[in-house]
Structure 1
Amino acid sequence: PFEELFVPAIRYAEEGFPVSPVTAMAWKQAEKVYLPLTGREFQQFKEVFFPGDRAPQAGEIWGSIIHAETLRAIAFSGGESFYSGEIAEKIANFAANTNGLIAKSDLANHQADWVNPISTQYRHLRVWEIPPNTQGIATLMALNILENFNINKHSRESVESYHQQIEAMKLAFADVNNYVADPKFMNVTCEELLAKSYANKRQKLIQEQAISVAEPGIFKGGTVYLCAADENLMVSLIQSNYDGFGSGILIPGTGIALQNRASGFTLEPEHPNQLAPEKRPFHTIIPGFITQENEPLATFGVMGGQMQPQGHLQVVVNLVDYNLNPQGALDAPRWRFIADKQVLLEANVPEFIAHGLRDKGHNVTLTKTREMFGRGQIIWRQKDVLIAASEPRADGLAIAW
């Protein structure tokens, strides 16, 4: 029954749970964002998530009775309370009293779409992502570009391997930032963006020196990830309130914190992702999947905003081109493209790679801050065995039962 799905979450909300180390660190960093907020719409949020005007520390027990009550109401109403019942009334009334824009009709009219995932063939495997309005297509576009290189003729820890991956990602982001939006408003199709012929043209832009500013091609026309698998099914699931703890606004008496995903819109006139009513913003969350000869092979994901497609790209390259096992593919040192020629490298990337990338024109910074590089999990099916991996950049773990 539907309500049974909520039982563990209700128990954790009522009884509390120990805050894990990486979560505690992120919570502590959030103090400087949310505690200074003085508007009355932020006060309930601070009372619930920052009791005593501070973030819970690692190992402390944190729980919330109002969260438990809300989850119970949703469970026993089959979701009706949230979309058209008492909880919907609370959300709409709070918005009306604080100059918000959410009406009860917005909740009542909400609908989720069952979409077909998009994919590309990379070497001998097929990689799948969620379609726009997400950025998953960026991973597939970068893989299409990389497929034109024999990247594994260079060792994984080589300047050339890093350079080619970074430049492919840079070109993919240029197109994604220019063309990808709610698919009802896009002027370019996914088929056009994922065409191998288009990737061939983009690949020619990658030279020995870093591209200064990647231009889009011309056409005619914060987050939680988990994966699960059993004998028959594999699931890749991701959820996010966007920026850390979201908007900092909590509906009184419910524990419901509002996300701020509309930050993904642009105000640029005529852009396909321009802010508009009844429109989905470009967003970052992308569960990943890999198949081989139409059979499920792996479910995977990497949390971390703009790092997500970059993490997906690096994990796939590690698995496919460098034959790393799932744990090794997650543990391997990472890079992160920021903008223009800016690239971050994890502190454990060999120094000679940093020097080599600088010689190619990249503006490289090595950083010890590992949370900048995403946090991922994988389940890989090998004949009758499931191999699970969770990386050390997060509090995640792999469990078999």
Structure 2
Amino acid sequence: MNYDALKNSYPSRRSVVYGRKGMVCTSQPLAAQAGLDMIKKGGNAIDAIIATASCMTVLEPTSNGIGSDAFALVWTKGQLHGLNASGKAPMSLDIDTVKSLGHNSMPKRGWIPVMVPGAPSAWAELSEKYGRLPFEEVLKPAITYAEEGYGVSPVISRLWGNSYREFSAEFAGEEYEPWFQTFAPKGHAPAPGEVWNSLELADTLRKIAATKSKAIYQGELADAIDAFSQKTGGYIRKSDLEDYWCKWVEPIHTNYRGYDIWEMPPNGNGIIALMALNILRGFEFTERDTAETIHKQLEAMKLAFTDGKHYVSDETAMRVTTDEMLSEEYAARRRALIGRDAIMPSAGDPKCGGTVYMCAADGEGNMVSYIQSNYWGFGSGIVIPGTGISLQNRGYSFSLNKEDANCLAPGKKAFHTIIPAFLTKDGEAVGPFGVMGGFMQPQGHLQVITNTLDFHMNPQEALDAPRWQWTGGKDIEVERGFPYALTEELVRRGHNIKVLPESLNFGRGQIIWKDENGTLTGATEPRTDGTVAAW
């Protein structure tokens, strides 16, 4: 990217960071440094991202764990590759079973929303296909932190405390006891700086390292998951784990202002960001902080999100194709719906014609955009005794309406909120970026891209700028730093505006851009404890 064209047009809370030989950005400084250490040891960006991701299961367990799902976009040797490591629903679980238990919608916690974890398979697959260092070497930092402990960072302490209070009030039953034993062994959530460790988690990571993740799908860790599930009323079985491995897929993209923005295909919801950008491509923006600009961005996102929630599902259950959803004809039809006032969005017809994000780059040109998640804080609340494995609750996003594309079915992947992204120009890599945070993610991607390409912000400015979030209907949340005059004008246009003091609701992002000289420029989220580790 040519930074001569970029103006420092927005006051930044921190400076961008430059590097030449390697860079890792994520929300936990110790994890970022562990990843950079792999590059310094002769590894590449892929080794770095595996080390960082495995460390994050220890250092930020509020958002992810061994039981997480994951997605990755890998740029190597001039090509971009996508890895889908999202899990599948257990074969013994279906809509009728869930409804027979008295549920009209998928519960958030417990065994019902648990799906096969995908992240460990992603680590092993990335290492086998593109890594340079031994798999056991790149998992050593995570094992060390789990065994020796670390001082919990301020933001994670706060999130940990929120979950502890929720779980203490709501959890009852044998299946939840291991969570308290693992994550609140002293009877409370760790305070900032308080040391937390888990010898059981360290032992689990050693088994994963020694077997290239096979232990969790075919070995003794799979046996432990199966045994605890059967003992406490769960649905996942060893056969579900044995039948799973991550899958390489073709990334999808759209062109915006001369750059190609890449996302993972469904079942991920990255296509929502691309659809919204397709709509916005038909407008010209000269200023960011105007009611006309923000209004059009909001309306485009509302329309794209409504379509995404209606159509995106497991690729085998999709009723429309990604080409149809990303066609210029369909974008034009949706764009025509945007007028002066806020609308109530509804899905169109394209056939008319709690998560951690990280990125890494090395001096050889390899770059990785990676994300993994247990979904809502600490996921399902289920921890496998003796292992430290916390299982995700991604099944919570399934519908129990058999007519919906994203309805629950045995062995099916769910609509996924976690999405890594990547930017290229004229076939050359600019770099990875992402904004984690549930349904904020495609909205964060759109705002980062428009901040960068329409308003010429550098990476740190693009992350610092106050954000908005559409939450449904005409309801919009904005950060406290959002200009007051803009909120007033948006209200006059029919938007229901709510100003929130809590910045964590608006996502946590990371960016690495590479310029024409090969210099890496990194930026990290001011809304969390993030850092850029550079060499």
Per the TM superposition, whether the score is higher than 0.5 is yes
Secondary structure of the structure 2 residue equivalent to 1:10: helix
Which segment is superposed worse, 391-400 or 314-323? 391-400
Partner of 1:165: 297
Partner of 1:345: 478
Query: Matched residues in 2 for 1:76 and 1:147: separation?
Result: 49
Q: Which amino acid aligns with 1:113?
A: K
Partner of 1:215: 346
Match of 2:358 among 219, 226, 232: 226
Match of 2:201 among 67, 79, 94: 67
> CA RMSD, aligned part only?
1.0
Secondary structure of the structure 2 residue equivalent to 1:101: coil
Instruction: Say if 2:375 and 2:394, in contact at 8 Å, map to a contact too.
Output: yes
Secondary structure of the structure 2 residue equivalent to 1:394: coil
CA gap of 1:161–1:220, structure 2 versus 1, over 3 A, is closer
Query: Matched residues in 1 for 2:397 and 2:143: separation?
Result: 31
Which segment is superposed worse, 293-302 or 217-226? 217-226
Query: Matched residues in 1 for 2:493 and 2:350: separation?
Result: 29
1:180 aligns with 2:312: yes
Q: Which amino acid aligns with 2:181?
A: E
Partner of 1:330: 463
Shift of 1:219: 4.0
5+ residue gaps in structure 2? Answer: 1-133
Match of 1:268 among 401, 408, 423: 401
1:38 aligns with 2:169: no
Partner of 2:240: 106
Query: Matched residues in 2 for 1:362 and 1:220: separation?
Result: 29
Shift of 1:51: 2.1
Query: Matched residues in 2 for 1:77 and 1:326: separation?
Result: 39
The number of aligned residues is 398
Partner of 1:120: 254
Instruction: Say if 2:324 and 2:351, in contact at 8 Å, map to a contact too.
Output: no
Q: Which amino acid aligns with 2:191?
A: Q
Instruction: Say if 2:330 and 2:350, in contact at 8 Å, map to a contact too.
Output: no
Instruction: Say if 1:44 and 1:251, in contact at 8 Å, map to a contact too.
Output: yes
Match of 2:489 among 333, 351, 356: 356
Secondary structure of the structure 1 residue equivalent to 2:438: coil
Secondary structure of the structure 1 residue equivalent to 2:531: coil
Query: Matched residues in 2 for 1:399 and 1:347: separation?
Result: 29
Match of 2:192 among 58, 65, 68: 58
| TM-score calculated relative to the size of structure 2 | 0.73
Shift of 1:161: 1.1
1:287 aligns with 2:420: yes
Q: Which amino acid aligns with 1:160?
A: E
Query: Matched residues in 2 for 1:391 and 1:76: separation?
Result: 34
Partner of 1:251: 384
Residues 4-50 of structure 1 show CA distances to partners (whole Å, capped at 9, x for unaligned) of 12100000000111111111111111122212211110001111112
Query: Matched residues in 1 for 2:488 and 2:249: separation?
Result: 44
Shift of 1:286: 0.2
Partner of 2:74: none
Query: Matched residues in 2 for 1:66 and 1:400: separation?
Result: 32
Q: Aligned residues: percent identity?
A: 49
Instruction: Say if 1:35 and 1:53, in contact at 8 Å, map to a contact too.
Output: no
Residues 44-76 of structure 1 show CA distances to partners (whole Å, capped at 9, x for unaligned) of 111111222211011111110000001111111
5+ residue gaps in structure 1? Answer: none
Shift of 1:80: 2.3
Which segment is superposed worse, 73-82 or 20-29? 73-82
Partner of 2:532: 398
| TM-score calculated relative to the size of structure 1 | 0.98
Query: Matched residues in 2 for 1:193 and 1:158: separation?
Result: 29
Partner of 2:5: none
Secondary structure of the structure 2 residue equivalent to 1:70: helix
Partner of 2:332: 200
Query: Matched residues in 2 for 1:365 and 1:272: separation?
Result: 31
Query: Matched residues in 2 for 1:285 and 1:350: separation?
Result: 29
Secondary structure of the structure 2 residue equivalent to 1:27: helix
Secondary structure of the structure 1 residue equivalent to 2:224: helix
